[in-house]
Structure 1
Amino acid sequence: MTAPVDVSLIVIVVVITALVFDFTNGFHDTANAMATSIATGALRPKVAVLIAGVLNVVGAFLSVEVARTISSGLVDEARISPVVIFAGLIGAIIWNLLTWLLGLPSSSSHALFGGLIGATVVAAGLGAVHFGAVLSKVILPAIVSPVLAGIIALTATYLAYRTTARADSGTVTKGFKAGQIGSASMVALAHGTSDAQKTMGIITLTLITAGVLSPDSGPPFWVILSAGLAIGLGTYLGGWRIIRTLGKRVSEIETPQGFAAEASTTAVILTSSHLGLALSTTQVATGAIFGAGSGRRLAAVRWSVARQMVVAWILTLPAAAAVGAVAAWVASAGTVGIVLVAVVAIALAAGIYAVSRRRPVTADNVNDVGDDAAVAHEPAVPAR
C-alpha cells in the first residue's frame, strides 16, 4: 500500500528529476550529432557541442507529437501517480550515467521507457502498461530504425565515393567538411525535436496524473522551454566518452562518410518525429555510422564494438525497468521512501562521476585513442 505524499511537493520533485534526466540525455547523446564531425575535423570539439546545444533548444519547439505519445500512449495515466514517474526517471538516469561511464551509446529514450514501465508494473500491475503501444511505437521502431539508417548511409557513402572518384581529393575533403557542418547541425536540430519531447511528455504525464492538466493535454509552453534548455545545456557539456566511441572506435571516418551518416540520421529522425514515433536517436545515429563505415571500400569496421552496443541496447529496457521497479517499491513508503531513493541515486551518480575522473575524456583528447587498449588490440574487419 502506498503511503500518502503531498501532491504539490512530489510534482515539483518529479519535474526537477525529469529535467535532470533531460540533462543527462543531452550529454549522453551529443555524440549522435557531432561525433563524426569532430572525428573528421570538420568542427572543433567545443564549437561542435555549442552548435549542438543551441540547436537542441530550437528543435524542442518544432513538434510535440512524440511528447503526446509518451504522455498518453504507453501507460494508463489514470492508474499511476507522480511517485511512479519519479521512480521511473531514477531508473533512466542511473542507466544513462552507467553507460556514459562505459562509453556505450545506449538509448536514453529506452532507458526512460524501461524505467517508467518497471515502476508502473510495481505500482499498478501489468494491466496498466499498454504493451501494444510499447511494441508498435517503441520496440519495432528500435529494431527497424538503425537497420534502415545503416542501409541509407551505406548507399549514400557508396554514391559519394563513386561520384567524386576522379575529383581532387583535397577539394572533396574540403567540400564534405563544409557539408558536415550543415548535416551535423540538422542532426542536432532533429535530436532536440525528438529527445527533448520525451521529457516534455513525462512532465506532462505527471501533471495529468496530479490532476493539473486534463487527459490528452499537450505540454504547456513552460514545459517545452525548460525541457529544451535542460537538454541543450547537457549537450553543450559534451559526452566526450561516447563521442570517442562513435567517432573513433567504430571506424576511421572520412568526411564523405561523416556527411552520409549525418544526413541519413537526420532523415530518419525527422520523419519519425513527424509520425509521433519515439525513436532512439542513439540507435539511428549508430546504425548510420556503421552503414557509412561499411560503404567505403576497404574501410576498417570494428564489428565487435557493434556487438557491445547491441548488448547494451538489449539490456537497456529491462535494466532500467528493474531499477525503476525497485525505486517504485521503496518510494511507495511515502516521503521517507522518496527521500531514500533520491539519496541513493545521488550517491550512485557521485560514485560514477568519481570513477570517470580516473581516466577523463575531454575535448582535448576525444580524438586520441592510442592509449585505449580495447581499441588498439581490437581487430578491424575491412568492408568489401
Structure 2
Amino acid sequence: MSADPTPPNLKKLHKDLKRFSAIESALTVTGRPAIGLGLGVLFLGLVWVFTATTFGESPGRSYLILSAVVGSYMALNIGANDVANNMGPAVGSRALTMAGALLIAATCEAAGAILAGGDVVSTISKGIIDPAMVADPTTFTRIMISALLAAALWINLATILNAPVSTTHAIVGGVMGGGIAAAGFGVVSWPTMGAIAASWVISPILGGIVAAMILYFVKRAILFQEDRVTAARKWIPLLMGVMAGAFGMYLVTKGLKHIFKPAPWVPPFIGLALFFGTWALMRPVIRRKTIGLENRRKAVSGLFTHALIFSSALLSFAHGANDVANAVGPLAAIVNALNGGGVSSAVVLPPWILVVGAAGISAGLFLFGPKLIRTVGEKITKLDQARAFCVALSAAITVLAASWLGLPVSSTHIAVGAIFGVGFLREYLVNRTPVLALARAAGKVRPDTHPALARKLEKRRLVRRQHMSTIAAAWIVTVPMAALLSAGLYLLLSQFPE
C-alpha cells in the first residue's frame, strides 16, 4: 500500500477546517430560534412605535399601546400554531415543500384577514361574558389585555410542546378568567361554556370519522382496484367535484361571512354548481394525466396533489378571515372603549388593526410555523397525497355539517382529528389482512423460534400514541389554563393606576 502523499501541514489544515465547519453547522442550527425570536421582538417593537406615534396624547395611551403590542403577540402565536392544521397535511404528503407552503399560507391568511376579516368584529368572544357587568372602560380594557396575553402565552407554550391547540378556545378561556377576576362567576355565560367543552369531544371525533370514511371510499373505489388508473379516471373527477362544492359552501358560509350574508338557498346552489362544473372540467384533465401512468398506488395518489394544494390554500383563506378576530377583536374593543365608544359586544374595526393582525399571523407563520407544520404533517401518521386530500376535504365537510346541525366544533380539533382518523383506519386495515390475522390466530409463530417473522406478525402501529396523548392533554387544559393565567394577569394589572 502506498503512503499518503498529503503533507502533514495540509492534513492539519483539513482537520481544522472540518472543526470550523462543524462549529458553523452547530451555530446555524442553534441560531435559528434566536433569529426567529429576534425578528418577532422587532415586529412587536415596530407595532409599539406605530401605535405610540399614531395615538399621541390620546386618553388611555399607555393601555392602547400595551394592547396593540399584546394583540400583535397573539397574532404571531396564531400564525405559529393554528396555520399548521391547514398546511401540515400538504407538507407531510410532499405535495408542497415547506417554502411553498409558507408562501401560500402567508398570502392566503393575509388575504383572508384583510379582504374578508370584516368591518365589524365580536369583542367578547362567543358571548362568554356579559358586557353590562363590566361596563367600566378601564375594567373592560384590563380584562381584554389579560385575555389576549394569557391566550398568547398559552399558545406559545403549546407551540413549544408541539401541540396544535384551538386559538379560539384560548381566547375564550382568557376572557372568562379575566371576567371572573373582575366581576365574579356570574359574569360568565355557562351554557356557552358548556357548548365549548362539548366541542372538545365532538370536533375530533366527527373529523376523524368523516376523514376515515372518505379514505375508505378512496381505497375501495380506486387504490384497492386491480386497474387503478381506470378507477381513477372514473372517481377522481367526482371527488374533486365534491371538494369544489364543499369548499364553495364553506367559503360562503364561513370564510366570507363577515362581508356576505347569503340567503339560505344560495350556499347549496353554489355548492351544486361548483360540483357539476368541476366534475365536467376535471374529467378530460384526469384522462390526459393518466395516459401512460403506472398502475401503482403512489402514482395514482399523486393525482390528488393539485386538489390538495388548492384546498389547503382555501382553508388558509377561511382561517385568516375567521381567526384574525381572535387577535384583533379584543384590541378593537379596547380602542373603542378608550376612545369614548363605551363597552360593546361588537365594534367597527379600524383598517390598521386588521393589517396588524394579518401581518402578525403571516410573520408568526414564517418565523415559528415550520416546526408545528412538520408535527401535524409528518409525526402523527404517514400521509400521502390521497390521505392528505381526505383530511382537507373532511375539514370542510365536517364544519358545514356541524353548522347545519347546530353542533359546536373547532376547526383545529377537526383537522387534527381527521389526521388521526386516517391513521387509525390505515392501522385497522393493515392489521385485518387475512394472512396476518390467520397466522396470529394459529399462534404457531413464536418470538423464540421465529423472531423476525414474529415481529412482522405483531399488530402494526401506524399512529404515534405519544403525540395523541400530548395533543389531547393540551386541548383539555387550554380553556382552564388560559383562564387561570388571565385571572392572574388581571389582578396584576389592577395594581397599577389608571
Q: Give the TM-score taking structure 2 as reference length.
A: 0.61
Which residue among 67, 85, 109 is the counterpart of 2:168? 109
Q: Aligned residue for 2:292?
A: none
Distance in 2 between residues matched to 1:285 and 1:327, nearest whole Å: 31
Deviation at 1:104, TM superposition (A): 1.2
State percent identity of aligned pairs: 28
2:95 match: secondary structure: coil
Give, as a single letter, the amino acid of the residue that structure 2 aligns with 1:38. V
Q: Aligned residue for 1:62?
A: 116
Mapped pair 1:265 → 2:404: no
Distance in 2 between residues matched to 1:42 and 1:325, nearest whole Å: 44
Which residue among 159, 164, 172 is the counterpart of 2:222? 164
Q: Aligned residue for 2:54?
A: none
Change (3 A) 1:217 1:99: closer
Deviation at 1:116, TM superposition (A): 1.9
Mapped pair 1:217 → 2:350: no
Q: How many residues align?
A: 331
C-alpha deviations, 1:212-263, integer Å up to 9, x for none? Answer: 3673434424133332232222223352232222122211112111011012
Distance in 2 between residues matched to 1:13 and 1:203, nearest whole Å: 10
Distance in 2 between residues matched to 1:48 and 1:239, nearest whole Å: 10
Q: Aligned residue for 2:143?
A: 84
Mapped pair 1:330 → 2:479: no
Mapped pair 1:250 → 2:380: yes
Distance in 1 between residues matched to 2:337 and 2:403, nearest whole Å: 25
Distance in 2 between residues matched to 1:175 and 1:314, nearest whole Å: 38
Contact 2:110 2:358 in 1 (8 A): yes
Give, as a single letter, the amino acid of the residue that structure 2 aligns with 1:246. V
2:87 match: secondary structure: helix
Q: Aligned residue for 1:147?
A: 205
Give, as a single letter, the amino acid of the residue that structure 1 aligns with 2:74. F
Deviation at 1:207, TM superposition (A): 3.6
Mapped pair 1:123 → 2:182: yes
Q: Aligned residue for 1:182?
A: 310
Give, as a single letter, the amino acid of the residue that structure 1 aligns with 2:332. T
Contact 1:193 1:273 in 2 (8 A): no
Q: Aligned residue for 1:200?
A: 328
Q: Aligned residue for 1:346?
A: none
CA RMSD of aligned residues (A): 2.8
Give, as a single letter, the amino acid of the residue that structure 2 aligns with 1:172. V
Distance in 2 between residues matched to 1:268 and 1:202, nearest whole Å: 28
Q: Aligned residue for 2:272?
A: none
Gaps of 5+ in 1: 337-384
Give, as a single letter, the amino acid of the residue that structure 1 aligns with 2:83. T
Deviation at 1:332, TM superposition (A): 0.4
Larger deviation, residues 64-73 vs 180-189: 64-73
C-alpha deviations, 1:68-122, integer Å up to 9, x for none? Answer: 3745712123404211211122211211111111111122222221122112111
1:188 match: secondary structure: helix
Distance in 2 between residues matched to 1:314 and 1:98, nearest whole Å: 15
Distance in 1 between residues matched to 2:358 and 2:408, nearest whole Å: 17
Change (3 A) 1:104 1:10: same
Contact 1:191 1:269 in 2 (8 A): no
Distance in 2 between residues matched to 1:253 and 1:244, nearest whole Å: 11
User: Which one has the largest radius of gyration?
Assistant: 2
Deviation at 1:157, TM superposition (A): 0.9
Gaps of 5+ in 2: 1-57, 229-294, 431-460
Q: Aligned residue for 2:81?
A: 28
C-alpha deviations, 1:185-233, integer Å up to 9, x for none? Answer: 1221222132112223222332454343673434424133332232222
Q: Aligned residue for 2:254?
A: none
Give, as a single letter, the amino acid of the residue that structure 1 aligns with 2:128. L
Q: Aligned residue for 1:132?
A: 191
Distance in 1 between residues matched to 2:469 and 2:308, nearest whole Å: 27
Give, as a single letter, the amino acid of the residue that structure 2 aligns with 1:185. A
Q: Aligned residue for 1:340?
A: none
Q: Aligned residue for 1:306?
A: 468
Q: Aligned residue for 1:15?
A: 68
Q: Aligned residue for 1:290?
A: 420
Contact 1:19 1:227 in 2 (8 A): yes
Deviation at 1:278, TM superposition (A): 8.0
Contact 2:147 2:177 in 1 (8 A): yes
Distance in 2 between residues matched to 1:69 and 1:327, nearest whole Å: 19
Deviation at 1:34, TM superposition (A): 1.0
Distance in 2 between residues matched to 1:216 and 1:195, nearest whole Å: 17
Distance in 2 between residues matched to 1:55 and 1:176, nearest whole Å: 20
Contact 2:123 2:329 in 1 (8 A): yes
Deviation at 1:275, TM superposition (A): 10
Which residue among 18, 35, 40 is the counterpart of 2:93? 40
Change (3 A) 1:239 1:317: same
Deviation at 1:270, TM superposition (A): 6.4
Deviation at 1:277, TM superposition (A): 8.7
Q: Aligned residue for 2:153?
A: 94
1:41 match: secondary structure: coil
Change (3 A) 1:52 1:293: same
